[in-house]
């Protein structure tokens, strides 16, 4: 059994903010894989289904970001889920927009949602880091992460589509395959542009030898 957790803040005013990309991730997985509607449970919203035969729980804590660990710990205890089977989707300032990386364990790097989960369960859960980019200065971080995605952030739908499509690999624990599958959608191979070495020109044929006699050639010039 896997517990997939999306981090975010509850309420419509936060629904399309960068800090809520974790909610968006589990919403897209639920939609694309036919999970039943979320219901209130464990101080969060829970949906239960399966991904390629693996029983999978989708959880969106409704405690606000800095208390996310309460909801995750309640669900984990109830279902007797090991911390090694918990996967958390969250926004990542240190990755370029649209990039994705998986990390097992480690610190929270100041992310309040990760900090809260660690305080309840320790650090050994898996994180799916969803890049949103950095505003450039630490004083701008708070308004940036709580700001909404721009219309120009066209990478967002590709990223959500990719991770939902590859979610069965994630639930199965095949993290490299999951990352590769997402990358094929977010960074598809470019078509050949024909920029290889130019083709050699066809050789110019040698002119045919003139079989006329000198007298015939002289006569032909005056015709």
pTM: 0.83
Backbone angle region of 128, left / alpha / beta, with phi > 0 → left and psi within -120 to 50 → alpha? beta
Q: Identify each DSSP E strand in 14-125 by its residue range.
A: 39-41, 44-51, 54-61, 86-92, 100-104
Residue with tokens 């370029």: 96
Boundaries of every domain in the chain: 2-186
Q: Cα 169 to the chain's mean position, in Å?
A: 13
Distance CA 163, CA 179 (A): 8
pLDDT of residue 104: 93
> Mind listing the pLDDT tens digit for each residue in 149-183?
999 999 999 999 999 999 999 999 999 999 999 99
pLDDT of residue 173: 94
pLDDT of residue 210: 62
Taking the CB of residue 59, how many other CB atoms lie within 10 A of it? 28
Residue 175, burial from CB neighbour count under 10 angstroms (0-12, 13-18, 19+): middle
Tokens at 150, concatenated: 């721009």
CATH top-level class of 2-186? alpha beta
Please tell me whether residue 34 adopts helix, strand or coil conformation.
Answer: coil
Residue pair 132/145 in contact (Cβ under 8 Å)? The answer is: yes
Backbone angle region of 189, left / alpha / beta, with phi > 0 → left and psi within -120 to 50 → alpha? beta
pLDDT of residue 218: 59
pLDDT of residue 187: 86
pLDDT of residue 201: 55
pLDDT of residue 199: 55
Catalytic residues: 19
Along the chain (223 residues), what's the average pLDDT of each consecutive run of 10 residues? 97 96 98 98 98 96 97 98 97 96 92 97 97 94 95 95 97 95 86 56 56 62 56
Buried/exposed 103-140: b ≥16 CB within 10 Å, e otherwise? eeeeebeebbbbbbbbebbeeebbbbbbbbbbbeeeee
């Amino acid at each position: 059994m896997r517990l997939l957790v999306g981090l975010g803040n509850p309420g419509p005013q936060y629904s399309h903010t960068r800090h809520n990309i974790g909610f968006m991730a589990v919403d897209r997985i639920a939609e694309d894989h036919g999970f039943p509607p979320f219901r209130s449970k464990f101080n969060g919203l829970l949906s239960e289904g399966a991904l390629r035969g693996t029983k999978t729980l989708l959880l969106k804590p409704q405690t606000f970001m800095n208390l996310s660990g309460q909801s995750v710990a309640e669900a984990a205890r109830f279902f007797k889920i090991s911390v090694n089977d918990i996967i958390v989707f969250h926004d990542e300032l240190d990755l370029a927009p649209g990039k994705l990386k998986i990390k097992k364990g480690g610190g929270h790097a100041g992310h309040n949602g990760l900090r809260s989960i660690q305080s309840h369960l320790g650090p050994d859960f898996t994180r799916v880091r969803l890049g949103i980019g950095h505003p450039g200065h630490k004083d701008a971080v708070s308004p940036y992460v709580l700001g909404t995605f721009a219309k120009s952030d066209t990478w967002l739908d590709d990223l959500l589509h990719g991770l939902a499509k590859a979610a069965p690999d994630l639930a199965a624990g095949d993290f490299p395959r999951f990352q590769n599958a997402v990358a094929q959608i977010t960074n598809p191979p470019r078509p050949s542009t024909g920029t290889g070495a130019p083709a050699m020109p066809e050789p110019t044929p040698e002119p045919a030898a003139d079989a006329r006699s000198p007298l015939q050639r002289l006569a032909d010039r005056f015709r």
